[in-house]
Amino acid sequence: MSERILVAVIGATGRMGGEAAKAVEAADDLQLVGRFDDGDDLGNLGGAQVAVEFTVPDASPANVAHCVARGVHVVVGTTGWSDERLETLRTQLQESSDTGVLIAPNFAIGALLMMSFAQQAAKFYESVEIVETHHPDKVDAPSGTAARTADLIGTAREDAGLDPVPDATTSDPGGARGARVHGIPVHAMRLRGRVAHQEVSFGGVGEALTIRHDSFDRVSFMPGVLTGVRKVAAHPGLTVGLEHFLGID
Ligand SMILES: NC(=O)C1=CN([C@@H]2O[C@H](COP(=O)(O)OP(=O)(O)OC[C@H]3O[C@@H](n4cnc5c(N)ncnc54)[C@H](OP(=O)(O)O)[C@@H]3O)[C@@H](O)[C@H]2O)C=CC1
Ligand SMILES: O=C(O)C1=N[C@H](C(=O)O)C[C@H](O)C1
């Protein structure tokens, strides 16, 4: 049998980090060598070749930079990676050109397909809005998945020369029309009992198309996390979106 990939998990007592540590331990070709949490010294990451990072948006860039500086590949699930943060990371990666970093707004296969289908549909519809629903312990809104979907749709609309989405609203003191991401209205619900859900609703004259994805359990993210761990070393530099490892793009 070939040698196992040595893996560390950062954010290991969190909801996702805990699930990821279990998934790594259960995989024959991977070996969990380190678990790190808030306040821990990451040091040499327990000798890991690949780190999995599920923490909070404000901590993630420093954790990833620590790994990159040591040539440890990173699979990042944490949200909040603005264009500015991505640019800084690209600069850090220039100093460590063999190192791969995957930043994946969503690891669930159905979510990747939902985003791809939405991107495909975008140029055919005058109207589109996104509604995402998550558990109420989530700290960021809108979700990384919703922001990424809106970006993909917004770019596809621009490329097709579409006008902005029609909206006659002139009075909205409470923000009932939601946030705008890349020109696309995005609405966020936080409900006890839910995990991660998203609907992309398109409207055209006399018709509607709805694309919906549901993660009912965090195990839905684990095949994607493990694929990232297995493939990240073969993709030096920065990759945003697991779809690029799966041929969905
Ligand atoms: N890409 C994807 O498919 C998915 C991404 N996510 C994203 O993953 C992230 C984590 O989500 P979730 O697991 O639900 O959140 P949790 O709050 O359950 O977990 C976050 C963990 O990170 C720890 N932490 C905080 N700061 C640091 C630090 N500086 N170094 C190391 N650990 C730290 C926290 O510790 P403490 O509690 O002690 O502060 C906590 O254990 C979020 O950004 C979420 O949006 C979630 C699901 C799927
Ligand atoms: O916090 C979560 O739970 C999730 N976060 C990611 C996001 O913000 O898109 C992925 C998934 O939606 C679950």
The pLDDT of residue 249 is 74
**Quick one: which ligand is closest to 194's CA?**
2
- Number of Cβ within 10 Å of residue 52's Cβ equals 28
Sequential DSSP letters for 44-95: TGGG-SEEEE-S-TTTHHHHHHHHHHTT-EEEE------HHHHHHHHHHHHT
Give the Å distance between the CA of 17 and the centre of ligand 1: 7
ipTM over cut 0.95? yes
Tokens describing residue 142: 């809108």
Binned average pLDDT, 10 residues per bin, the chain of 249 residues: 90 98 98 97 98 97 98 97 96 97 98 98 98 97 97 98 98 97 98 98 98 98 98 98 93
Q: Is 138 noted as a catalytic residue in this protein?
A: yes
Sequential DSSP letters for 11-25: TTTSHHHHHHHHHHH
Give the Å distance between the CA of 214 and the centre of ligand 2: 11
CB-neighbour burial class of residue 107 (10 A; exposed 0-12, middle 13-18, buried 19+):
buried
**What are the chain's domains?**
5-107+219-245 (3.40.50.720), 109-216 (3.30.360.10)
